[in-house]
Structure formats: C-alpha cells, structure tokens
C-alpha cells in the first residue's frame, strides 16, 4: 500500500518571489549590487500577450531565476508613505535572504553600508532564549534595509532548525528544550 499523500513531500521548497517595483532599472541595480544577482533575461510588457507587465529574471547561481522583478507600464505608481502602514491593499511584509555564515552576514552589514544604504532595523537577535535576544522568533540574527520602493529586505544568519520532537535546535546544534514548535 502506498503512503498517504502529503503535499509537503511533493514540494522541494519555496523558490522565488516576483516583486512589483516602480522603477525597473533602479531595482535591478539594487538587487544586483546588494546581493550579486545576475540578470538572465529582461522583457517588455506584452511581448507575450498574456503578460502585460515588464519582467526581469535574476539569478544567484545556475537556476534560470531565483527572483523576478515586475513593473506595469500602465500603472501609476506612487511612493510609499506613512499611511501605507495603516491602510491600503495587502502587501508583502518583507523578503529575506540567508547568508552563508555569520561571518558572511557581518560582511554584508559592511557591504550595504558601503553602498550607502540605511539599516532600518537591527542588527537584531530574533530570540527569546539567547543572550541579547529581543524576544522575537527564529533564533536568527538579522538586519533589514529597504529597496528603492520601500520593500523591506532582511538578511540573516543562523536560524534555528526544528527537531523531530519539535524542540528548537540552535545553529550550533544545541537543543533549546524550553522552545518547542506548535503541533499543527
Ligand atoms: Fe524574516
């Protein structure tokens, strides 16, 4: 008898986000400069009739794309303002990138500063258990910058993993017995 179908066994992992941007050139520069993305393809709106937006496909490695940027030439974009935190359509809260190591993450802090970007949050330890943690979740260390449209971009390292019994395991392999995943 075959095992019961579980969709999580069919999914490898979440793969990419297609972020809507108001200025394609500015956003290509941002993501290529900050992260080292390479531009695989860039296309005008309606090159394919079913796709009325301009698209850019960005890659970090050998995949055709790891991220997509989209902009609609028929849409009047406006800059984000303070009201957007309290009213408006649902939006993406933040998009996150994992660094290779804590050393890499520290280098990325210097890198974004050298690019003249403001760190709008952090560096912060997302933890209620680790020394210096701010009480938030994931056990990772993070900082945040904004892209040209104000999309919040997180760079992090050292997120916890979850053992089979639900206990959190730090990036150093230590079980945090007080910290347990929900059972849903
Ligand atoms: Fe996050």
**In this structure, are 136 and 182 located in the same domain?**
yes
| Model confidence pTM above 0.85 | yes
DSSP state of 116: T
When pLDDT is averaged across residues 93-101 and rounded to a whole number, the result is 96
Q: Is residue 113 part of a domain?
A: yes
User: What is the CA(48)–ligand 1 centre distance, in A?
Assistant: 34
Q: Tell me the CATH number at 161.
A: 3.10.180.10
Q: What angle do CA 39, 141, 16 make, to 5 degrees?
A: 30
**What is the DSSP code string of 45-59?**
TTSSTT--SEEEEEE
pLDDT of amino acid 1:
57
Q: Is residue 111 part of a domain?
A: yes
User: What is the CA(91)–ligand 1 centre distance, in A?
Assistant: 15
**In this structure, are 54 and 102 located in the same domain?**
no
Per the structure, the count of domains in the chain is: 2
User: What is the CA(56)–ligand 1 centre distance, in A?
Assistant: 24
Q: Is residue 6 part of a domain?
A: no
**In this structure, are 61 and 108 located in the same domain?**
no
CB 168 within 8 A of CB 179: yes
When pLDDT is averaged across residues 97-112 and rounded to a whole number, the result is 97
CB 144 within 8 A of CB 120: yes
pLDDT tens for 62-81 read 999 999 999 999 999 998 88
**In this structure, are 69 and 97 located in the same domain?**
no
pLDDT of amino acid 84:
87
User: What is the CA(96)–ligand 1 centre distance, in A?
Assistant: 5
**In this structure, are 56 and 117 located in the same domain?**
no
When pLDDT is averaged across residues 82-98 and rounded to a whole number, the result is 92
pLDDT tens for 130-172 read 999 999 999 999 999 999 999 999 999 999 999 999 999 999 9
**In this structure, are 107 and 57 located in the same domain?**
no
Strands 38-43 and 54-59: antiparallel
User: What is the CA(92)–ligand 1 centre distance, in A?
Assistant: 11
Give 108: exposed, middle or buried? Use CB within 10 Å, 0-12, 13-18, 19+. Answer: buried
User: What is the CA(1)–ligand 1 centre distance, in A?
Assistant: 40
Which ranges of 54-146 would DSSP assign to H, the alpha helix?
A: 102-114
**In this structure, are 109 and 181 located in the same domain?**
yes
Task: Say yes or no to pLDDT of 177 above 90.
Answer: yes
User: What is the CA(23)–ligand 1 centre distance, in A?
Assistant: 24
Q: Can you say whether the dihedral through the CA atoms of 126, 112, 25, 62 is positive or negative?
A: negative
User: What is the CA(95)–ligand 1 centre distance, in A?
Assistant: 7
Domain that holds residue 43: 13-73
């Amino acid at each position: 008898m075959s095992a019961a179908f579980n969709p999580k066994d069919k999914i490898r992992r979440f793969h990419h986000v297609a972020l809507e941007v108001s200025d394609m050139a500015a956003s290509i520069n941002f993501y290529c400069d900050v992260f080292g993305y390479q531009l695989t393809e860039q296309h005008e709106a309606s090159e394919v009739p079913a796709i009325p937006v301009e698209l850019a496909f960005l890659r970090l490695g050998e995949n055709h794309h790891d991220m997509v940027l989209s902009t609609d030439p028929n849409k009047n974009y406006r800059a984000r303002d303070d009201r957007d935190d309290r009213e408006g359509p649902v939006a993406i809260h933040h998009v996150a990138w994992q660094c290779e190591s804590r050393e890499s993450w520290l280098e990325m802090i210097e890198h974004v500063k050298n690019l003249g970007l403001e760190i709008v949050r952090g560096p912060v330890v997302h933890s209620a258990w680790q020394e210096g943690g701010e009480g938030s979740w994931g056990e990772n260390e993070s900082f945040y910058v904004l892209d040209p449209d104000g999309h919040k971009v997180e760079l992090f390292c050292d997120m916890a993993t979850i053992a089979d019994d639900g206990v959190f395991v730090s990036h150093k392999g230590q079980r945090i017995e007080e910290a347990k995943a929900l059972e849903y």
